[in-house]
Amino acid sequence: MGMRPAGDTVDILEKLLAPLQGRRILDIGCGRGSLLQALAERGASVAGLDPDEAMLEVAQTLVPKAALKQGCAQLLPWGDGSMHAALFVNSLHHVPVPDMLLALEEAARVVGKGGSVIVIESLSEGSFFDTLRLIEDETEVRQAAQDAIVRARRRGIVSEIRQIEYDRIEAFPDAAAFMARAVAIDPSREERAQAAQGKLIDRFEALSEHENGGYVLHQPLRLHHLKAPFAAKPAGTSAMFG
């Protein structure tokens, strides 16, 4: 594994999509809204989609002005060309594999000609991934997400203008905090996390770096900055926020 620079996802997105002020940005798979909040604080007009109603309620409380809708990535409830950018941040691999290409096509539709579709996916390597795989090994589905991007490019749904790899570095006070983080991302992991608790603690302590009395894990990420090359009929801002 080659060395990658450490990077902060929000800082990278801000540079790629600058200026953020007034940009209409859709977070597909927004979860509890932490990314929406960070982008809104930097001036973006944000919208979010998630299939989980409970998570959307948390996100709405966190970002009251966000336009949030419950639904799936394969059928986005926004009009053609209604967004400047659409984001899949560790979410494309959660789309059913047969529908990943359609999800990318839908994202390209809502951003319209020249709009940005940014996909960020964790790679199946690094100390964070190698610890997490005791609970859930997503190697195959993450590769399927990468393959879907390749297919979307070949079919002319999107073109790729840049690819960036960087390390997300996370610090934890102990293994319990790591387990809580893993379960917060996907509550269905809780039973498996409890069952593997002993092995998980051992692996966490073996793979993590010790810094300032805590533990540090690295997760390599790959960012695809894609552009929608086809024309789309613009929709008014009201269509996005209605």
In the three-class reduction of DSSP (H, G, I as helix; E, B as strand; rest coil), residue 117 is classed as: strand
pLDDT band at 232 (very low <50, low <70, confident <90, very high): very low
Within-domain flag for 30: yes
Confidence category of residue 238, pLDDT binned at 50, 70, 90: very low
In a domain, 210, yes or no: no
pLDDT of residue 231: 53
Query: Is 203 part of any domain?
Result: no
- Residue 236: is its pLDDT beyond 50? no
Q: What is the C-alpha separation between 38 and 184, in angstroms, rounded?
A: 19
Q: The domain containing residue 31 runs over which residues?
A: 9-123+137-167+221-241
Is residue 102 in some structural domain? yes
Residues 6+ apart with CB under 8 A from 126: 1, 167, 217, 218, 219, 220
What's the chain's average pLDDT?
Answer: 91
- Model confidence at 5, pLDDT cuts 50, 70, 90, reads very high
pTM of the model: 0.90
Note the pLDDT of residue 189: 85
- Residue 84 within any structural domain of the chain: yes
Answer yes or no: is 57 within a domain.
yes
- The pLDDT value given to residue 2: 54
pLDDT band at 230 (very low <50, low <70, confident <90, very high): low
CATH number at residue 79: 3.40.50.150
174 found inside a domain: no
Where is 210: in which H helix or E strand? strand 209-211
The C-alpha angle with vertex 210 and arms to 172 and 179, in degrees rounded to 5, equals 30
Backbone phi and psi for residue 52, each to the nearest 5 degrees, phi listed first: -95, 110
Map tokens 């909040």 to a residue: 37
- Total tally of structural domains belonging to the chain: 1
Q: Is residue 173 part of a domain?
A: no
